Structure 1
Amino acid sequence: MDETVFETAAADAAANEQTVRKGFWPKVARVAGKLPFSEDLLAAYYCAFDRQTPMQVRVILLGALAYFVLPIDGVPDILPILGFTDDAAVLATAMKVVIDAIRPEHREAARRKLETAE
């Protein structure tokens, strides 16, 4: 592959990481109780920021998480019920691709976080 493709992918991943680090927890605090996919969302977050996670998996998950965090997306999040369907679809697709990288400890961390948030 062309070296510029890798450079572009690395730049996109870095931008997505910054977006997710800045906006993830505030948005989760606002909406986690309303989302049926909260555990998957948190497991994806923990996997994406795990240093043992392969870079290609991190890039995929960070892209999906950035989509969740960004206020502008396919279906506005302010719409009742439908607002997070596109976020769920993007996350589900990303997780299907990287399912083997999401380890039990990522899921357990997600469950613990959800229990303490209740």
Structure 2
Amino acid sequence: MTDLGYKKYFTDISFKDKIQNVAKQAGAKVVYAALLLYFLMKDPLVPMKAKLTITAALGYFILPTDAIPDLAPLVGFSDDLGVLIFALNQISEYITPETKIKALQQLQRLFKNLKKEEIHELEQKVY
């Protein structure tokens, strides 16, 4: 994954702000993928090379302007999802059950009405 300068946009604060501001509009799939990457970033066992991929993907997600504007109905976050899933596929070997649990717990805080079937479906689709 080429950085293209996206990593300068990723910080804990910018990530948390973006998630809070767009969670409902972006949808559970995008948010779950972003949360998985975020918690992988915090894992000390994940190597620096993988963290560079994560930083670039999360930077793209946070970036205020991207290929498809996030405000565009129905497709606004499709490019973000593509970048997040690409990054997850590149580093999937580092995803642990603990990482999934942290991401799912945060996802359930944001999407209070998310059903267990929907969570299972998300896990199957995201990476």
**TM norm. shorter chain > 0.5:** yes
Aligned to 1:82, the other structure's residue is in SS state coil
- Within the candidate set 21, 46, 50, 1:30 is matched to 21
- Within the candidate set 67, 72, 76, 1:74 is matched to 67
Give the aligned residue type for 1:37: V
RMSD: 1.9
**TM-score, with normalisation over the residues of structure 2?**
0.75
Partner of 1:39 in structure 2? Answer: 32
Gaps of 5+ in 1: 1-8
Using the alignment, how far apart are the partners of 1:89 and 1:20 within structure 2? Answer: 21
Q: Shift in Å at residue 37 of structure 1? A: 2.6
Identity of aligned residues (%): 29
Q: Shift in Å at residue 17 of structure 1? A: 6.3
Q: Is the 8 A contact 1:20 1:69 kept in 2?
A: no
Partner of 1:61 in structure 2? Answer: 54
Give the length in aligned residue pairs. 106
Using the alignment, how far apart are the partners of 2:39 and 2:92 within structure 1? Answer: 13
Judged with a 3 Å threshold, the aligned counterparts in structure 2 of structure 1 residues 74 and 57 are, in CA distance, closer, same or farther, namely same
Using the alignment, how far apart are the partners of 1:60 and 1:24 within structure 2? Answer: 15
Does residue 90 (structure 1) correspond to residue 83 (structure 2)? The answer is: yes
Partner of 1:20 in structure 2? Answer: 11
**TM-score, with normalisation over the residues of structure 1?**
0.80
